[in-house]
Amino acid sequence: MTDRIILASGSPFRKTLLANAGIGFDAVPADVDERALEAPLEGSGATPEDVALILAEAKALNISEKNPGALVIGCDQTLSLGDRVFHKPGDKEEARRHLLTLSGKTHQLNSAVVLARDGETLWRDVSIARLTMRKLDPAFIGRHLARVGDKALASVGAYQIEGEGIQLFEKIDGDYFTIVGLPLLPLLAALREYGALDG
């Protein structure tokens, strides 16, 4: 069994998923400039899945280089609608525009997870969920955002599926863990493979 597992994220949702799965870990948020890493990828032909993997890997490597011997989990998630990649909204108005754009359409959540040790990538995976938002009335979007408050600014889609955001959808194709941002089943398999979990 490995000595130490580190989650290179401060996300309360990811921490809860790992804790609920019975994994002992420390959470150490990575110090990476995501927008600076993404800038050279624009127009390069990198897919939204590639972007998620590159960011997850950068986070895992960032923390693994500072924590010798530890097995570090890096994760990232992109939301894509066609070729457009969405980022967390900066304010309520941007959240409103996100939801108006996604209304009545199927978007994709691309959740990447990477394992690294001593500055070396050991394993990487990206899982995809497709979510179809029902056609939303603009007035409803305003009322919804007023109810959920700043929680809408905590995720790329301006919604939390594990909360009131579930009301926005008519169809979901993909697992809950991928949607929340940590593909848990492939990660657990990889942790067993690297001796970090009994099994």
CATH number for the domain spanning 140: value is: 3.90.950.10
Residue with more model confidence, 100 or 88: 100
The pTM assigned to this predicted structure is 0.90
Q: Which domain holds residue 32?
A: 5-193
* Residues with catalytic function: 76
Distance CA 172, CA 107 (A): 10
- pLDDT tens per residue across span 132-189: 999 999 999 999 999 999 999 988 899 999 899 999 999 999 999 999 899 999 999 9
The verdict on residue 45 lying in a domain is: yes
pLDDT of residue 13: 87
pLDDT of residue 99: 97
The verdict on residue 123 lying in a domain is: yes
The verdict on residue 199 lying in a domain is: no
Check whether 123 has a pLDDT greater than 80: yes
pLDDT of residue 3: 72
- pLDDT tens per residue across span 16-62: 999 999 999 999 999 998 888 888 888 788 999 999 999 999 999 99
Highest mean pLDDT pick, 45-54, 77-86, 105-114: 105-114
The verdict on residue 100 lying in a domain is: yes
pLDDT of residue 155: 87
Total structural domains within the chain:
1
The verdict on residue 103 lying in a domain is: yes
The verdict on residue 17 lying in a domain is: yes
- Say if CB 185 and CB 175 are below 8 A apart: yes
The verdict on residue 72 lying in a domain is: yes
pLDDT of residue 41: 84
Average pLDDT over residues 74-91: 92
pLDDT of residue 59: 97
The verdict on residue 95 lying in a domain is: yes
The total number of residues written for the chain in this structure:
199
pLDDT of residue 2: 53
